[in-house]
């Protein structure tokens, strides 16, 4: 699958907000352009890092429209939209809208309120979304982040979706942060599905195990190193130094959740962006916490 046009390094993009928690649409294109300049092949809009579930359907669609403006100067920049909600009809509407707008694909959470749904129920739910919202040869990715959604997407469920919708079900964003699970995905689906690693520190091993790229929160900061790991993989080698920096960056960021708050604070301090808020129930990190995180990133020489 490595030759597929959607492989590569993607950022789970943060969402710029005004002080009243409305979306700062004027900042969206510059933010995406920055990601492109720093080595990203594309971005996922409205994922976990982008606080997707905190926005209404109208807000999500408006943000998708704003994101498309990056194509005026970056025509090859790939865009994926997070479209999952607990509502089947709302998810169908958002997914259909993303494709109609011209997005390259969608990454869709399972219906996360019902945490004990069976594989049969999840297959029926995803099947309805795929049938009603995804065009033939559209790129639909499941979004596996059980620590947040509370719902796991089993290997057997993924295989069943792949077999039932071979021209629509394209792959998975795996944010389980589980090395064994990443290897199991690669062994079973590496030649048939696009598997994006959602964990920077596992990116190199996931590629070796059959992954086709990554979509990570830290790509907002560390995309140059992610791109080095990717480019080395395409050459048949490894960039050990870049991988080691990714290990350090992930270890630091994990100590200062949530990622959305940390990333917005660091980008404001280091790159001069406005210190965009996060929408409640997420909250700004205290200044002393930001100071500690920044000190760790700088001591490890991870900010450029």
- Percentage of the chain modeled with pLDDT above 90: 97
The whole-number pLDDT of residue 37 equals 97
Is-contact 265 274, C-beta < 8 A? Answer: no
Average pLDDT, the chain: 96
The one catalytic residue in 78, 162, 173, 248 is 173
The Cα 170–Cα 113 span in angstroms is 24
Q: Is the pLDDT of residue 175 over 90?
A: yes
* Counted domains in the chain: 1
Name which of 263, 250, 204 is nearest 228 in CA terms. Answer: 204
SS3 264: helix
Q: Is 48 a catalytic site residue?
A: yes
The whole-number pLDDT of residue 189 equals 93
| Residue 247 counted as domain residue | no
**pLDDT tens sequence across 286-295:** 999 999 999 9
Q: ω before 63 within 30° of 0 (cis)?
A: no
Q: Is the dihedral of CA 149, 150, 152, 153 positive or negative?
A: negative
The whole-number pLDDT of residue 298 equals 95
The Cα 182–Cα 175 span in angstroms is 9
Q: Is 292 a catalytic site residue?
A: no
Radius of gyration, alpha carbons of the chain: 18
The one catalytic residue in 7, 15, 48, 199 is 48
**pLDDT tens sequence across 195-248:** 999 999 999 999 999 999 999 999 999 999 999 999 999 999 999 999 999 999
Q: Is the pLDDT of residue 1 over 80?
A: no
**Mean pLDDT to the nearest integer, 173-180:** 95
How many Cα atoms occupy the beta-carbon half-sphere of 294 within 13 Å?
A: 16
The one catalytic residue in 10, 143, 196, 256 is 143
| Residue 284 counted as domain residue | no
Is-contact 94 85, C-beta < 8 A? Answer: yes
Q: Is the pLDDT of residue 155 over 70?
A: yes
- Which phi and psi angles does 108 have, rounded to 5°? -120, 120
**pLDDT tens sequence across 129-144:** 999 999 999 999 999 9
The Cα 86–Cα 193 span in angstroms is 25
Is-contact 79 119, C-beta < 8 A? Answer: no
Task: Please give the residue range of the domain that contains residue 64.
Answer: 8-237
| Residue 258 counted as domain residue | no
**Mean pLDDT to the nearest integer, 48-71:** 98
| Residue 180 counted as domain residue | yes
**pLDDT tens sequence across 234-265:** 999 999 999 999 999 999 999 999 999 999 99
The whole-number pLDDT of residue 275 equals 96
| Residue 132 counted as domain residue | yes
The whole-number pLDDT of residue 190 equals 83
CA dihedral defined by 275, 27, 217, 113, rounded to 10 degrees? 90
Query: CATH number for the domain including 140?
Result: 3.20.20.70
Q: Is 21 a catalytic site residue?
A: no
Look-up of token digits 């993303």: 98
| Residue 267 counted as domain residue | no
| Residue 200 counted as domain residue | yes
CA 179 to chain centre: 18
User: Where does the pLDDT of residue 84 fall: very low under 50, low under 70, confident under 90, or very high at 90 and above?
Assistant: very high
Q: Is 143 a catalytic site residue?
A: yes
**Mean pLDDT to the nearest integer, 53-65:** 98
């Amino acid at each position: 699958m490595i030759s597929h046009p959607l492989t590569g390094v993607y950022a789970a993009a943060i969402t710029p907000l005004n002080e009243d928690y409305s979306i700062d649409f004027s900042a969206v294109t510059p933010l995406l352009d920055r990601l492109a300049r720093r080595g990203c092949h594309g971005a996922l809009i409205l994922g976990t890092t982008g606080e997707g579930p905190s926005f209404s359907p109208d807000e999500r669609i408006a943000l998708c429209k704003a994101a498309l403006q990056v194509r005026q100067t970056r025509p090859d920049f790939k865009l994926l939209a997070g479209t999952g909600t607990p509502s089947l009809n709302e998810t169908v509407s958002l997914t259909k809208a993303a494709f109609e707008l011209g997005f390259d694909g969608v990454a869709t959470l399972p219906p996360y309120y019902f945490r004990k749904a069976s594989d049969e129920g999840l297959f029926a739910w995803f099947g309805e979304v795929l049938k009603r919202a995804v065009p033939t040869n559209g790129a639909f990715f499941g979004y596996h982040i059980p620590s947040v959604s509370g719902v796991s997407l089993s290997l057997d469920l993924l295989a069943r979706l792949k077999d039932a919708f071979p021209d629509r079900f394209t792959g998975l964003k795996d944010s389980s942060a589980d090395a064994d699970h990443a290897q199991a995905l690669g062994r079973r689906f590496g030649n048939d599905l696009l598997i994006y690693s959602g964990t920077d520190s596992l990116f190199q091993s996931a590629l070796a195990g059959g992954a086709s790229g990554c979509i990570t929160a830290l790509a907002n900061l560390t995309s140059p190193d992610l791109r080095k790991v990717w480019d080395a993989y395409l050459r048949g080698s490894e960039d050990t130094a870049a991988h080691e920096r990714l290990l350090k960056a992930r270890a630091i960021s994990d100590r200062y959740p949530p990622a959305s708050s940390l990333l917005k604070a660091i980008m404001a301090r280091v790159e001069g962006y406005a210190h965009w808020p996060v929408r409640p129930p997420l909250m700004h990190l205290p200044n002393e916490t930001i100071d500690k995180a920044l000190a760790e990133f700088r001591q490890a020489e991870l900010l450029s």
